[in-house]
A = this chain, B = another copy of it.
């Protein structure tokens, strides 16, 4: 168990081209940004009605979004849905639903969960073993996990939720990448039992991270408490428009799941050609864990291909999906350069 006392400080993330430029100032531009798990094939953009920008968001539209989200995610009803300007802003609010106690985060995972629990006043620790979560007041896990894709089965989650609920605790399951499954392990349909909060992210699967839209699924009383914290008009006009259209577009969602699975397979094949084994992930990102990770990160970055590294675990990388043939070729070219360096390296030492 690792204590995370300093977790209130800002944490590092992927997805910043500013940071990429600072790290690799001489890399060819534009960067191919594979540092996130955001779908590069975004939901088709459309022209927003001017009123989506000029007028206050309508309460009726928010209710419509909640209904559509409940259906898309498999929550019991719209009353079980709290919509927010991104999942991120929900994290401290969710952690604050319980008075300060013991928060355990199943790690390694998305670092903002520990930070949010610390902000809410909890004593936070990261645990590597799922069963240890039962000791928590607030237990948090990402399912499937970011960055390694680790999956906890639904039956085990429900058992944990029951144990936590019995002592007034709370289980938070961040299903940020559950859009690409395995959906049978989602707890979205179980939130009415109480003591369970499921977080769903709109921006990742729909490739629209800039609109800021996320959801907490919970029992109606808890959803209402979260709504009260966010206040009226928390979800912006553009997020309402895109959320309503994209979440109700089942054909796009089905097709996209297939396409992402194919792309993920293609990425594994490409990496395999360079003897890089994929150790896990989801259809939205792949997870690498091998000793040469630091050299791969640097070589790709120098070629203008940005992947996600983790300061405290240098042997680990997360790679998102290229979004176009040009990006696939940039990645392949960068891998070729890295492989050439790798072959040269022993010779240098021999000399």
Contacts and interface: CB of A to CB of B under 8 A. Distances in A.
B18 A91 contact: no
Contact of A208 (B38, B53, B231): B53
Contacts of A56: 13, 15-16, 36, 38, 203, 209-210
Contact of A237 (B51, B119, B211): B211
A119 to B, nearest CB: 6
A107 B232 CA distance: 20
Contacts of A8: 228
A207 interface: yes
Interface stretch (A82-90, A259-267, A334-342): A82-90
Given A91-B231, A231-B91, A233-B86, A54 B36 contact: no
Given A45-B53, A112-B231, A238-B238, A16 B210 contact: no
Interface residues of A, number: 54
B17 A53 contact: no
B17 A58 contact: yes
A173 to B, nearest CB: 19
A21 to B, nearest CB: 9
A276 interface: no
A322 interface: no
Interface string A7-44: 01010010111110000000000000100101000100
Given A10-B232, A89-B231, A18 B59 contact: yes
A351 interface: no
B42 A119 contact: no
Given A53-B208, A56-B36, A58-B17, A88 B231 contact: yes
A126 B23 CA distance: 53
B236 A85 contact: yes
A11 to B, nearest CB: 8
A127 interface: no
Contacts of A207: 54
Choose among A52, A119, A209 the residue with the greatest number of B CB atoms under 10 Å from its CB: A209
A210 B88 contact: no
Contacts of A230: 89
A53 B231 contact: no
28 contacts: A8-B228, A13-B56, A17-B58, A18-B58, A18-B59, A33-B55, A36-B56, A38-B55, A42-B50, A42-B53, A42-B54, A51-B210, A53-B211, A53-B242, A55-B209, A56-B203, A56-B209, A85-B212, A85-B236, A86-B236, A88-B234, A89-B89, A89-B230, A92-B231, A116-B231, A210-B237, A212-B236, A238-B238
